[in-house]
Amino acid sequence: MRIQESAENYLETILILQERQGSVRSIDIVNELNFSKPSISVAMKNLRQNGYIEVDGENHITLTEKGRAIAETIYERHTLLASCLTCLGVDPAVAQEDACRMEHVISAESFAAIKRHTAELLLARRVDT
């Protein structure tokens, strides 16, 4: 199932914030992404209605199983692509920006190939040392 890039970004942000601070509220997402409160409110409503997040009585946001799966996939893509670009000599800030765009459009097949290749390179480095 394919969801919009913006939804993927919100889910990834929720995952990162959960790992960083435990609980997440809409205001945390506002502060992280520098978006308006109304924009975040609409996005969270859409994510909730589509079953990607749950919001409790204290307005804490948690990822559902399907929301977490998407968030983890996007985050894995982001971190690996940014690392690869940085290793290739790309400025880390540029690598982060580029990875943020690439993570949404790369096919599962291409990402798997990059992941495999990266693992092979790391293994070869360990054997050489």
Architecture of the structural domain at 5-69? Orthogonal Bundle (1.10)
Rounded average pLDDT over 102-128: 89
Per-residue pLDDT of 20-67, as tens digits, reads 999 999 999 999 999 999 999 999 999 999 999 999 999 999 999 999
pTM of the model: 0.87
Q: Residue 1 — very low, low, confident or very high, per pLDDT cuts 50/70/90?
A: very low
Which three-class secondary structure string do you get for the chain?
CCCCHHHHHHHHHHHHHHHHHCCCCHHHHHHHHCCCHHHHHHHHHHHHHCCCEEECCCCCEEECHHHHHHHHHHHHHHHHHHHHHHHCCCCHHHHHHHHHHHHHHCCHHHHHHHHHHHHHHHHHHHHHC
Domain boundaries, the chain: 5-69, 75-128
pLDDT value of position 42: 95
